[in-house]
Amino acid sequence: MLGPSLLVAPSFVPETELSEYYLPAGKWTSFFDPSRVVDGPIWMKEKVNLDDIALWVREGSALALGPAGIDRPDYSYAKGIELRIYEVKTGSDSEVDIPSGAGIGISGSINIKSDGRVVRAHFDAKALDVLSLKLYKGGQMFEGQSTGGNAGSLEVNIA
């Protein structure tokens, strides 16, 4: 496990052999192919190219990704955020802190709420530049819409 949200399973076998790894209980979505959703616990057996890696996201996780094309670790973490939410549960209420990049400081937080039909993400638009919200549920992706206002807000309708 890489933190509470990601399971990384590197492969060290030849490409002609099957890699085997374990996904714990819960629903898991492939990071690189979000149409793949698996219910654990399960032992996975699959061919993994040596230059690839199996990377799975636990249900209920929210990942804040930096802008595409950044090839260095010292960019502004508060700008160009793509928020990805995986298999959110009805009634959930969670928060994602965005680091400042300077020590242990936080630039801001994104609050995520789901009522089963709509998932909303609220944040301080002066502190954070959230470009997009993507929700992955049941192998499908739903894109968020801005709801405007001073306090930033994005929402996704899933029903």
Q: Is 148 exposed, middle or buried (0-12, 13-18, 19+ CB in 10 A)?
A: exposed
Collapse the DSSP code of 88 into the 3-class scheme (helix H, G, I; strand E, B; otherwise coil) and give the result.
coil
Q: Sorting pLDDT into bands at 50, 70 and 90, what band is 4?
A: very high
What mean pLDDT is reported for the chain? 92
Question: Which of 6-20, 26-40, 84-98 shows the lowest per-residue confidence on average (mean pLDDT)?
Answer: 6-20
Q: Which residue has the tokens 């301080």?
A: 124
What does the pLDDT read at residue 150?
Answer: 56
What does the pLDDT read at residue 87?
Answer: 97
Rounded to two decimals, what is the model's pTM? 0.91
- Residue 147 confidence (pLDDT) above 80: no
pLDDT, one tens digit per residue, over 44-88 is 999 988 788 999 999 999 999 998 888 888 899 999 999 999 999
